[in-house]
């Protein structure tokens, strides 16, 4: 077991392209850390630097207290699971899982024990004699995970391992990954662009954009208190509504007809007000000091089963989404009023995108 620490880690490619910008990150022993962000944000590059598959331009990578910058991947005591499974097609499941152990010249009895134990954990014992082509996508991913488990490494690295699976299977495998990580208690770093996957898996959630870390915290800390407008708009589906606010003598107004709100502490310029779609309630406007109201015109409705997403536009021209229970029907252009508790509002500096409260 081992903790992982990154100190000022940078990656600059030939031509001056800075893919990772001075990342500092500490991952505790046994934790499941998820790196999440859009394509091209640097998360996979960061993972590959931890693995030793990419050289570190600046900074230090340490595993279990030892700096590993100059160590080869095989010397870092890590195991990596890729999105394309990377199985040998001509080998059986058993041989795929045993291959790395045989290369280490491990005794045959130890190989047998490790492979059988991992196969039992992953429920693939009946498949040990099969070839990869005889397996489904989910079964192949289990074999890839088993190949990593048998090595009993200090750290597991997962590079978007579920991205090739269909939606239903991804849900099942998410649960499986979480269960296995809890059972093995091995430090794990998991890369994904899927924010739902990140939220459900992470002990420690790291949100990245343009090569830098935007926020670190538990999934609920990041969701409930995003520190930037990028995090607010990336974490959550649908994303947080971000409404430009106008200053007046009474305070801030984020839409025509909206209740004025006191200017938050630290606001020097324009302000964006964030409201999660589930915190907005459709209905009659009420004059209550603990609520704020906004009028909107419906632009569309998306039924998604147990809920509906009502999309609209405020009088100031800002897009807004309201999540409501059940199935609802509204005509395009219909006028509605929505309210939210003042306690549910988030405030951001419009220029920097940083949180104000």
Tokens 């978007």, residue? Answer: 160
Say which CATH topology domain 4-231 has.
Answer: Rossmann fold (3.40.50)
Q: How many angstroms separate the CA atoms of 355 and 349, rounded?
A: 6
What CATH number labels 239-349?
A: 2.40.50.140
Q: How far is CA 206 from CA 15, 17, 181, 306, 317, in A?
A: 28, 22, 18, 30, 33
Partners of 298 in the β-ladder: 312
What is the band of 345 on the pLDDT scale with cuts at 50, 70, 90? very high
DSSP secondary structure letter of residue 132:
G
Quick count: other Cβ atoms within 10 Å of Cβ 123?
Answer: 11
Tens of pLDDT, residues 160-182: 988 888 888 888 889 889 998 99
The conformational region for residue 254 under phi > 0 = left, psi -120 to 50 = alpha, else beta, is alpha
Mean pLDDT value across residues 198-226: 96
Domain boundaries, the chain: 4-231, 239-349
Over residues 250-298, the pLDDT tens digits come to 777 766 555 677 777 667 778 899 999 999 999 866 667 678 888 899 9
Question: What pLDDT is attached to residue 46?
Answer: 97
Please give the pLDDT value at position 317: 87
Mean pLDDT for the chain overall: 91
- The CA distance from 3 to 228, in Å, is 28
pLDDT for res 105 = 92
Same fold: 4-231 with 239-349: no
Assess contact for 94 and 115: CB atoms under 8 A.
yes
Q: Which pTM value belongs to this model?
A: 0.90
Tell me which residue has tokens 């690295």.
157
């Amino acid at each position: 077991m081992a903790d992982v620490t990154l100190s000022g880690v940078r990656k600059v490619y030939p031509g001056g392209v800075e893919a990772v910008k001075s990342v500092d990150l500490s991952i505790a022993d046994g934790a499941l850390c998820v790196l999440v962000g859009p394509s091209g944000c640097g998360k996979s590059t960061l993972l590959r630097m931890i693995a030793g598959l990419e050289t570190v331009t600046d900074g230090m990578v340490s595993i279990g207290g030892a700096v590993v910058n100059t160590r080869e991947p095989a010397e870092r005591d890590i195991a990596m699971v890729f999105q394309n499974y990377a199985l040998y097609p001509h080998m059986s499941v058993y041989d795929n899982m045993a291959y790395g152990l045989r290369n280490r010249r491990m005794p045959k009895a130890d190989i047998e024990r490790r492979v059988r134990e991992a196969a039992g954990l992953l429920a693939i014992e009946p498949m040990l004699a099969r070839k990869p082509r005889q397996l489904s996508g989910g079964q192949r991913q289990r074999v890839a995970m088993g190949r990593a488990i048998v090595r009993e490494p200090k750290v597991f690295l997962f590079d978007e391992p579920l991205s090739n699976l269909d939606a239903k299977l991804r849900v099942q495998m998410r649960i499986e990954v979480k269960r296995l990580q809890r059972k093995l208690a091995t430090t794990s770093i998991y890369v994904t662009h899927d924010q739902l996957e990140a939220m459900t898996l992470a002990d420690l959630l790291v949100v990245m954009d343009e090569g830098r870390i935007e926020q670190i915290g538990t999934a609920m800390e990041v969701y409930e208190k995003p520190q930037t407008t990028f995090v607010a708009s990336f974490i959550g589906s649908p994303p947080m509504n971000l409404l430009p606010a106008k200053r007046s003598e009474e305070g801030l107004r984020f839409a025509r007809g909206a209740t004025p709100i006191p200017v938050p502490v630290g606001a020097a310029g324009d302000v964006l007000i964030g409201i999660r779609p589930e915190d907005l309630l459709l209905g009659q406007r009420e004059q209550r000091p603990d609520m704020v109201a906004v009028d909107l015109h419906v632009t569309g409705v998306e039924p998604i089963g147990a809920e509906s997403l009502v999309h609209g536009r405020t009088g100031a021209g800002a897009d807004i989404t309201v999540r409501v229970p059940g199935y609802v029907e509204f005509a395009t252009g219909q006028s509605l009023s929505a309210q939210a508790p003042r306690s549910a509002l988030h405030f951001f500096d419009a220029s920097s995108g940083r949180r104000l409260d």
